[in-house]
Amino acid sequence: MQPPSPSTHRKVRTADLEQRLLIDAIYHRYHYDFRGYAQASLRRRLNAALIRFDCRTLSQLQDRVLHEPMVFPALLEYLTVQVSDMFRDPGYYQSLRTEVVPLLRTYPSLKVWVAGCSAGEEVYSLAILLHEEGLLERTLIYGTDINPHALRAAESGIFDMARVAAFTENHARSGARSSLSDYYTARYGRVVFDKSLREHMVFSDHSLATDSVFAEMHLVSCRNVLIYFERDLQNRALGLFREALCHRGFLGLGSRESLRFSDQSEAFEDFVVEDRIYRKKAGL
């Protein structure tokens, strides 16, 4: 048996150590907790940040993060920024429409939580869907994220015109009852979504790693967020969703995410298997 090549081996270990130290430093100084994040994706993002901040090693980056006040806010963009499309996976929205909405109709008022909402693409998608189904008037949608810049973008409801063609196609494939253009005004290469949608949204800073439940929800939608978490943090987040959901409430995950490997798998039952829509079991 060949021993592992010492140089390669040591280099990997050093990078692991530097990554852990940097993440710890960020937590202790700025109270952003990336300690439970999946290592591989975090490493890719940190490697991209090394180039951006002109650092050779994560130790150098850590030095800048601790001593230069402007560096961390910029680094946070690298660590958290997520770009999703409106109505990404139209089948998910179609299933919400045909399977979940009929049950949501039975409630006099509705609360929906989009956990990890980034720039709000999913929040606006759900607002439009609920408006088309005649439910938006009685609904409040909470969009939460840890990235303040993304939350401000979500509050503005402004998106780049270049992205709208894809949004429109997805929307049409989601079983739309209207045209997406009914909901926005285009100007100067951007679109602004209607203020009447915005009235039913609350955007707020919330961390799935460190914060707790803040309201009782009928539907929690958390798509392609858990893929960035390690198992323990996934379990924590799913525990929050379970706690937040009302009796027999609904949980929607990303199309390649699964409850199967989680501690919370027993708390939920499959509702629409192929679109990863789950329902909280009775008595929990």
Contact string (CB under 8 A) for other proteins, positions 67-86, x = contact: ---------------xxx--
Least distance CB 270 / other proteins (angstroms): 14
166-192: burial string, b at 16+ Cβ within 10 Å, e else:
ebbebbeebbbeeebeebbeeeeebbb
Decide: is 227 part of the binding site for other proteins (CB under 8 A).
Answer: yes
Cα 169 from Cα 184, distance rounded (Å): 15
In 3D, which of 196, 192, 95 has the Cα closest to residue 136? 196
Least distance CB 122 / other proteins (angstroms): 12
Instruction: With contacts defined by CB under 8 A, name the span among 7-15, 98-106, 140-148, 150-158 that binds other proteins.
Output: 7-15
Decide: is 264 part of the binding site for other proteins (CB under 8 A).
Answer: no
Decide: is 44 part of the binding site for other proteins (CB under 8 A).
Answer: yes
HEC per residue, 25-86: HHHHHHCCCCCCECHHHHHHHHHHHHHHCCCCCHHHHHHHHHHCCCHHHHHHHHHHCCCCCC
Contact string (CB under 8 A) for other proteins, positions 132-171, x = contact: ----------------------------------------
Beta bridge partners of 120: none
Work out which of 28, 40, 56, 212 binds other proteins, going by CB under 8 A: 40
Cα 232 from Cα 274, distance rounded (Å): 25
Instruction: Point out which residues bind other proteins (CB under 8 A).
Output: 1-2, 4-5, 8-9, 12, 38-41, 43-45, 82-84, 224, 226-228, 231, 234, 254-258, 260-261
